[in-house]
């Protein structure tokens, strides 16, 4: 096999639903063996899936799974492009069943779906060998999921799966798995190259100009129709990053370098379940329009432990916002903030409070603007209160104080919105590999 293509159709839960189709069409047009990946899990997404299953057993997978796959499922099946996604979240079997129903509703032949399980390690985290870098959880555990490697994905493809549904796997494993299957890779440098492919693709449009555009500084054409990325991979480990044909966006040395360094704690030792990746010798070269060649990834043996994200109950967050506009609006907004602080002073023992005036310093984690920093006194300002508490009633009471400002606060306030939501906090744990048992099963 001279070359294998890996496309990406999502970089997070809730990503664009129209992004995958141009990628799949491009994969088909190139005529090379290919796989299509969807990355939809963030650190807390699995905990939200577990909570969803408490209300409805058949829930817990990516909420937008069916509209995400509907445009491309038939094309991928007919052109033998396997789909690999961690959209199974907290319920991979439920996701597989939903995909089977989708295929039937579209009149497609029944796809062969592999389910990867074993990432749920709630039953293992009490083992004394588990390492807790941030301390053991003090609150009830909602979810605990280890980051599995690419081996189960490659195994599923070897079994003939058309679609591989996983829960928590390391993001790069979504691309490394099909590359192991395609090329038979096992050497550290090969696994490093495949891990680098997955790392570059995992955030979707971040490598094609999304989260990059800065008008006049880093211009990106046609952001409204941003194309998603494709990796062209050679058996020797050379990589070309490009994007879907006839789409907007940009792939150049800058976009690739930004994504290359994204979330890399140590460029010489990026720890993944399959390999320790060293990118210090990686070269990034523009070889054509929207085509960047990457080479030089090096690998060493992976760590002895697997990381797990442990999600715990984090209390409640009460939020409230109100706007002030027109002449002297800033002074009225500041008076509203002072009023809220005074009214909530007595709750300091049960509520952690933050009040910002949006448009001044809120984004920079400072309350200087709210306390009198220089700004145009006229205009439009929005006061935001955030109150964290272990007690729901205390969070609700704090949020209601914003509502009270309608008639019990400065002149001209309007547009109040309040909400109280349960919070999910996360910790990391390091598990000996013997405590984690991935397994693959076929359905359909």
CATH number, residue 388: 3.30.70.100
Residues 181 and 278 in one domain: yes
Select from 388, 266, 309, 389 the least CA-distant residue to 134.
309
**Judgement on whether residues 238 and 381 belong to the same structural domain of the protein:** no
Q: Do 182 and 63 belong together in one domain?
A: yes
439 with 398, same domain: the answer is: no
User: pLDDT tens digit string along 226-265?
Assistant: 999 999 999 999 999 999 999 999 999 999 999 999 999 9
Number of domains in the chain: 2
Residues 286, 382 within the same domain: no
- pLDDT at position 360 is 62
| Residues 278 and 194 placed together within one structural domain of the fold | yes
Residue 48 to residue 54: CA distance in whole angstroms: 10
Below-70 pLDDT ranges, the chain:
1, 360-376
**Would you state the pLDDT for residue 375?**
57
Same domain, yes or no: 433 and 358:
no
Question: How much is the pLDDT for 362?
Answer: 54
Assess whether 20 and 52 both reside in one domain: yes
Residue 378: the pLDDT is 78
Instruction: Identify the pLDDT of residue 363.
Output: 52
| Judgement on whether residues 245 and 352 belong to the same structural domain of the protein | no
Record the pTM: 0.92
Same domain, residue pair 326 and 236: no
Domain that holds residue 435: 4-304+429-443
Residues 199 and 273 in one domain: yes
Residues 106 and 132 in one domain: yes
């Amino acid at each position: 096999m001279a070359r294998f293509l890996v496309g990406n159709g999502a970089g997070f839960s809730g990503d664009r639903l129209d992004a995958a189709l141009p990628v799949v069409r491009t994969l088909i047009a190139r005529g090379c063996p290919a796989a299509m990946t969807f990355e939809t899990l963030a650190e807390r997404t699995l905990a939200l899936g577990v909570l969803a299953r408490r209300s409805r057993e058949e829930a817990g997978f990516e909420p937008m799974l069916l509209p995400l796959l509907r445009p491309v499922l038939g094309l991928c099946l007919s052109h033998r492009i396997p789909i690999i996604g961690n959209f199974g979240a907290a319920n991979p079997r439920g996701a597989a069943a939903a995909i089977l129903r989708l295929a039937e509703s579209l009149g497609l032949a029944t796809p062969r779906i592999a389910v990867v399980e074993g990432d749920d390690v709630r039953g293992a985290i009490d083992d004394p060998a588990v390492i807790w870098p941030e301390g053991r959880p003090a609150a009830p555990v909602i979810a605990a999921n280890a980051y599995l490697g690419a081996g189960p994905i490659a195994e599923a493809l070897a079994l003939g799966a058309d679609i591989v549904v996983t829960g928590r796997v390391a993001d790069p494993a979504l691309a490394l798995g099909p590359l192991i299957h395609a090329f038979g890779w096992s050497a550290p440098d090969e696994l490093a190259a495949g891990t680098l492919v997955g790392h570059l693709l995992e955030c979707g449009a971040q490598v094609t100009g999304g989260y990059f555009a800065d008008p006049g500084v880093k211009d990106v054409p046609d952001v409204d129709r941003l194309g998603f990325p494709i990796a062209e991979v050679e058996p020797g480990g050379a990589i070309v990053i490009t994007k879907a044909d006839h789409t907007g966006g940009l792939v150049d040395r800058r976009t690739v370098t930004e994504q290359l360094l994204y979330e890399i704690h140590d460029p010489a030792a990026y720890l993944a379940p399959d390999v320790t990746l060293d990118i210090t010798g990686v070269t990034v070269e523009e070889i054509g329009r929207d085509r960047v060649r990457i080479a030089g990834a090096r690998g060493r043996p992976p760590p002895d432990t697997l990381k797990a994200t442990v999600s715990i109950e984090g209390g409640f967050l009460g939020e409230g916002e109100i706007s002030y506009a027109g002449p002297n609006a800033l002074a009225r907004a500041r008076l509203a903030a002072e009023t809220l602080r005074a009214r909530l002073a007595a709750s300091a023992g049960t509520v952690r409070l933050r009040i910002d005036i949006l448009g001044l310093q809120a984004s920079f984690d400072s309350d200087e603007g709210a306390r009198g920093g220089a700004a145009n006194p006229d205009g439009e300002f929005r006061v935001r209160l955030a109150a964290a508490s272990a007690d729901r009633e205390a969070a609700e009471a704090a949020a209601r104080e914003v509502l009270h400002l309608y008639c019990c606060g400065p002149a001209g306030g309007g547009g109040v919105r309040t909400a109280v939501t349960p919070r999910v906090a996360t910790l990391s744990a390091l598990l000996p590999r013997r405590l984690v048992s991935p397994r693959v099963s076929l359905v359909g």
